[in-house]
Structure 1
Amino acid sequence: MGEGAEPPAPGRRPPSPHRGPVLLVVLAVVLIGGIGVGTWHLLSDGGDDTANESSGPSATASGWDSGSPSPSDDVPSSGQPSAAPSGSAVAGSGPPQGYQRTADPEGFTLDVPVGWQRVKRDTGVFYESSDASRLLQVFALTSPQVTPYEALKQAETSLKKNPGYKRYGLKRLGPADDADAELQYGYRSEKYGPRRVVDRAFTGPDGVQYAVLVAGPSDEWPRQVERQRVALGAFCPTAYCPAG
């Protein structure tokens, strides 16, 4: 979500073009493969810090604890939101300079920085810089009852336990209740120092809900937003990626 993973996330499963609706970060069903199990791990700080950046609401036997947030909970984000997530890859278009298009074995395609290494964990698929201080995490969760906004809202319950946690923005990226949502936050990692994170929750064209999270040093902000924008610009479940 490697980096100090955030609090454990409720049951997650790897994205699959044949999966039914799945909810990221805040849903409670067990995932099918390995993209994540437990609470929504929004992020991972690898090493001794692996639990710091993931997040997720606590799950109960019957599913996630819920609680509908009201519009007043929205806080303006700092920095521009990333480009449209799923279904946005353009046939024939290539990755921007410094990035490479990657067809991940878990069933999705996206653009990641050149030289970043793939790491598979229970909390999802990670692409990390050589020292793991910068990362991109992708995961999916099960259960369609919670909207992307509610999932991120609930995820904060765990994130707030991180030292120096601060929310910079939490908002829906559209008028509908089930619109994409984005959370921007910061905290202090014991291993890496001040961190800034941007996490997008959205529903893919396959009906699966995904989370794409990018983290890095606070003093690099808003590079995290740019990396997420590039990743989302090419993101698509494998069976739905355009030809060419």
Structure 2
Amino acid sequence: MSGDDEAVRWNPLTQTWDTGTPQSPVTGPPASPPEAHPPTQVVPPTPSYPAPSYPPPTPPPPPGQAWPQQSQQPQQPWPQPELPTPPPRPSGWRRAGLVLTVVLVMLGAGYGTWFFLDKRDQDAKSDAKQSASPTPGPSKAEPSPGPSTEGPSASPSSSGVEVPPGYRLVTEPEFALVVPQDWERRTVDGEKGVTVYYYEEPDGGARDLRIFPITEENPTATGVLETADAIFEKQFKNYTRNSIEDAADEQGGALLDYSYDSEKLDTRMRAVYRVFGSDPDQLYGLVAAGPADDWPEQQSLAQTGVESFCLTGAC
């Protein structure tokens, strides 16, 4: 091999043919370290679920036919929470309204509404009266023990009381007045020691006269009659208030003219309820009742009784 051939050699570092003196190998820059990569996160495979199954669609009806109606399931109501049981409603007089309140006021005044029933209707109304009255009073069917039926002593005309024809003067422990000549006397004990005096047509007639003291505190004649009117509307069958007005005579007070159907007598009744008082501190009630066809006989009877009335010791 010639010298020229020896001077030429292959340099594996430079990948070239070198000529001449061999040169030191060229040191290249150090190789860069391999680039670091974060570890690959392994994602778990997504689980597969079976595809939901649906019922096949309903085929359409043949031409000319309507679609069949789908049956609907009733909707279930939401469950309701259990509520506490309310306390029982009060019974008796606490549950009553204005009417019973008025009744109790009237009973507390010392007179029961049974005073105003005609003597045969008292049999039908006695049960209702006893249920409404705090202190049951006797009725016509159940008179108080030992009622007085003897006629009072007659007083001469010199007593100062004028006795009209067909009347007689009766003197009671509390008062005196004139009543029809042949009428029978009867007394009934009421509430608060009140005595009700009845003067009745004989042989079961429908006419009678009643008188009793009013024991309500600070009463007024009009106030007493307004209270009675409210009670009568609930108590009497087909009750009608004909009028309520102040009295125009010297005795003063007020009067209530009313009508109703008597269940026992099977007739229409008409009555005058007069509240008056010769003593401002003591009012009296007087009721004159009879068949409506007899009007105005009841009005005349009540007026005669009031005009002749006088308290014991003042006649």
Same topology, TM > 0.5: yes
2:218 to 132, 136, 145: 145
In 2, the alpha carbon distance for the partners of 1:127 and 1:97 equals: 17
What is the Cα deviation at residue 104 of structure 1?
1.8
In 2, the alpha carbon distance for the partners of 1:90 and 1:214 equals: 27
What is the aligned partner in structure 2 of residue 164 from structure 1?
238
What is the aligned partner in structure 2 of residue 135 from structure 1?
208
Q: Is the 8 A contact 1:197 1:224 kept in 2?
A: yes
Q: Is the 8 A contact 1:49 1:189 kept in 2?
A: no
Report how many residues are paired.
177
Q: Is the 8 A contact 1:133 1:216 kept in 2?
A: yes
Q: Is the 8 A contact 1:170 1:181 kept in 2?
A: yes
Q: Is the 8 A contact 1:90 1:234 kept in 2?
A: no
Query: Taking structure 1 as reference, are residues 170 and 48 closer, same or farther at Cα in structure 2, changes over 3 Å only?
Result: closer
Query: Taking structure 1 as reference, are residues 191 and 59 closer, same or farther at Cα in structure 2, changes over 3 Å only?
Result: closer
Deviations 1:164-192 (A, max 9, x none): 10011001236xxxx51100000000122
After TM superposition, the structure 1 = structure 2 runs for residues 27-106 of structure 1, keeping only pairs within 5 Å, are: 28-29=108-109, 37-50=110-123, 92-105=160-173
Query: Alignment RMSD, CA only?
Result: 3.1
> Do structure 1's residue 111 and structure 2's residue 178 form an aligned pair?
yes
What is the Cα deviation at residue 155 of structure 1?
0.9
Query: TM-score, normalising length from structure 2?
Result: 0.50
Query: Taking structure 1 as reference, are residues 217 and 51 closer, same or farther at Cα in structure 2, changes over 3 Å only?
Result: same
Gaps of 5+ in 2: 1-99, 135-156, 191-195
Query: Taking structure 1 as reference, are residues 44 and 215 closer, same or farther at Cα in structure 2, changes over 3 Å only?
Result: same
What's the % identity of the aligned pairs?
A: 29
Please state which structure has a larger fraction of its residues in strand. Answer: 1
Query: Taking structure 1 as reference, are residues 143 and 119 closer, same or farther at Cα in structure 2, changes over 3 Å only?
Result: same
Gaps of 5+ in 1: 1-6, 12-24, 30-36, 61-88
What is the aligned partner in structure 2 of residue 223 from structure 1?
297
Rg larger in structure = 2
Q: Is the 8 A contact 1:168 1:186 kept in 2?
A: yes
Query: TM-score, normalising length from structure 1?
Result: 0.63
In 1, the alpha carbon distance for the partners of 2:124 and 2:278 equals: 27
Which amino acid in 1 is paired with 2:244?
A: L
Q: Is the 8 A contact 2:111 2:215 kept in 1?
A: no
> Do structure 1's residue 125 and structure 2's residue 125 form an aligned pair?
no
Q: Is the 8 A contact 2:244 2:254 kept in 1?
A: yes
Q: Is the 8 A contact 2:111 2:214 kept in 1?
A: no
